[in-house]
Amino acid sequence: MIGRLRGTLVSKQPPWLLLDVGGVGYELEAPMSTLYELPEIGAEVTLLTHYAVKEDSAALYGFATPAERQLFRDVQKVSGIGARIALAILSGASVDEFARLVQAGDISALTRIPGIGKKTAERIVVELRDRVDSLTVSMVQAGRGAVPTDPVSEAGVALQALGYKPAEVARMVKLAAADGDSAEAIIRKALQSALK
């Protein structure tokens, strides 16, 4: 099992990133919360990883913090939630904010995350209420293909990859984008406004 990688950041095209570790390029899928924390291309970075093997595929996911990786693993234990929704959760809310929503039983805020309907949100609250307490404690202790180059288009591609519909993405990006914003800034503002 691959638990951690340290290497040179070769590219970041949300939600994908490529890490060169000793001449081997590892392609990882990462939540936006991790992508926000990454340094510039060419810098050295260390990421915690989760390696998932299914019958027909293998995938490697990267995380900036132990709490993010633990939340990614925990939410997939809830019936009906897979890796895509787990990444959407981490992209749409910080670990701390997600824990707060679960503890408060805020079903309506949870259903604003792509892929989570009312029944799934209810299951999340019931099944994860006890686990999110340990996540916030550990967080305190721990301290593909061509992508458009303009920030607005890049943000749109990333939001669609997270499960938002094209019409919804267009509205979100239009409201979030300001002159001079990077793709990461647009995505962050769009995801924050989607949770309100």
Straight-line distance from the first to the last Cα atom of the chain, in angstroms, rounded to the nearest whole number = 38
Percent of the chain with pLDDT over 90: 32
Q: Yes or no: is domain 66-142 CATH 3.30.450.20?
A: no
Fold of 151-194: Helicase, Ruva Protein; domain 3 (1.10.8)
- Domain(s) labelled CATH 2.40.50.140 in the chain stretch across 4-63
- Domain(s) labelled CATH 1.10.8 in the chain stretch across 151-194
Q: The pTM is what?
A: 0.68
CB neighbours of residue 161 within 10 Å: 20
Q: Which residue from 21, 116, 94, 114 is spatially nearest to 60, judged by alpha carbons? A: 21
Query: The CATH number of 4-63 is which of 1.10.3720.10, 3.40.50.980, 3.40.50.880, 2.40.50.140?
Result: 2.40.50.140
Q: At residue 32, does pLDDT exceed 70?
A: yes
The confidence score (pLDDT) of residue 142 equals 43
d(CA 87, CA 75): 10
Q: At residue 143, does pLDDT exceed 60?
A: no
Q: Which residue from 166, 175, 170 is spatially nearest to 196, judged by alpha carbons? A: 175
The confidence score (pLDDT) of residue 133 equals 61
Q: In this predicted model, what pLDDT tens digit does every residue of 85-97 receive, in sequence order?
A: 999 898 888 888 8
Mean pLDDT for 98-124 is 88
